[in-house]
Amino acid sequence: MSQLTVFITGATAGFGAATARRFAKDKHKLILTGRRAERLEALKKELDTDVHIIPLDVRDEKAVRAAVAALPDTFKNVDVLVNNAGLALGLEPAHLVAMSDWETMIDTNIKGLLYCTQALLTGMVERGKGHVINLGSVAGSYPYPGGNVYGATKAFVKQFSLNLRADLVGQNIRVTDVEPGLAESEFSTVRFKGDAEKAKQVYEGTDPITPDNVAEVIYFTATFPGNVNINRIELMAACQAFSPFNVVRK
Ligand code: NDP
Ligand code: 8X3
């Protein structure tokens, strides 16, 4: 396997940080982004491979384009984009949610992902080589109470991934939607706005997916032989499955 240049959004925590560590293990080159600069610095120090860090908010289209345009020569030929930055906010029913929370999820999970994709895709098309790996979710396929806009953003990511694939077929650019279920990271702390106790309860008595599990799937997807495109890959914790339809009886 030749050395890949991998651009990861949301590399400061959870799946993104674990994915950085997994690619670093095999000495791939990394461009690590996220808003918390101090965490990017720490990760760069920790990893034994070439790392370029960019403090970046994916919701800022101009900043995304500028960051990609300013990539140093040795990092500019990006082979793999891992569109991982994302979040859920709240679990309230639709009529009780603050519109600003819905907007933040749409701006990050949908618009931010689109900004990063287009900023890097042009170069991939010119070079005739690339792979876009998006972080979807089981929430994009299965509804649950309070999942309202978060699940809808991930349904967007799933369908956008498939449509992107349709645009790019024959151009040696792969597209994959990785769709995890219950996974322990900072995700629930963010969802519950810093309430660590509430976040902990989500995983109590379970054996959830770990960020390392997800990183391994992303790594496998990116390094799988080039004659195969893994369109979607859904993984659940072994302790998780589906509920029956909810029927309210009189
Ligand atoms: P974490 O909260 O642990 O990590 C989220 C990452 O996204 C952080 O690095 C954060 O960095 C970054 N991020 C958030 N907002 C922005 C922004 N505006 N600009 C740049 N970076 C941002 O969550 P996970 O690792 O669990 O989640 C990663 C992805 O996987 C998300 O898209 C999530 O929706 C998805 N997912 C999570 C599941 C789970 O159960 N954990 C299951 C299925 C999918 P910073 O704050 O420093 O900017
Ligand atoms: C994260 C998994 O089930 O909390 O995407 O929506 S879930």
* Farthest CA pair distance, the chain: 67
Which ligand is the nearest neighbour of the Cα of 141?
2
Give the model confidence (pLDDT) of 200-245 as tens digits.
999 999 999 999 999 999 999 999 999 999 999 999 999 999 999 9
Give the model confidence (pLDDT) of 45-64 as tens digits.
999 999 999 999 999 999 99
Position 1 scores a pLDDT of 74
Annotated active-site residue 150? The verdict is yes
- Both tokens of 156, joined, read 């967007």
Which ligand is the nearest neighbour of the Cα of 234?
1
Q: Say which residues have a Cβ less than 8 Å from residue 84's Cβ, sequence separation at least 6.
A: 8, 9, 10, 11, 15, 16, 19, 135
Strand 173-180 and strand 130-135: the pairing is parallel
Give the model confidence (pLDDT) of 135-156 as tens digits.
999 999 999 999 999 999 999 9
Q: Distance, CA 239 to ligand 2 centroid (Å)?
A: 14
Domain ranges of the chain: 5-235
Task: State the Cα angle at 162 between 187 and 105, rounded to 5°.
Answer: 30
What DSSP letter does each residue of 188-235 carry, written as one string? HHHHTTT-HHHHHHHHTT---B-HHHHHHHHHHHHHS-TT----EEEE
Among 144, 150, 203, 219, the active-site one is 150
The structure's pTM equals 0.99
| Domain at 5-235, CATH from 3.40.50.300, 3.40.50.2000, 3.40.50.720, 3.20.20.120 | 3.40.50.720
Q: Tokens 């792979």 appear where?
A: 131
85 lines ligand 1 (CB under 6 A): yes
Strand 5-8 and strand 29-34: the pairing is parallel
Q: Distance, CA 180 to ligand 2 centroid (Å)?
A: 8
Q: Distance, CA 186 to ligand 2 centroid (Å)?
A: 12
Is 249 a residue whose pLDDT tops 80?
A: yes
- Both tokens of 202, joined, read 């989500």
Kindly state the percentage of the chain with pLDDT values over 70.
100
Nearest CA to ligand 2 atom 5: 137
| ipTM over the 0.95 cut-off | yes
Give the model confidence (pLDDT) of 63-108 as tens digits.
999 999 999 999 999 999 999 999 999 999 999 999 999 999 999 9
Give the model confidence (pLDDT) of 159-174 as tens digits.
999 999 999 999 999 9
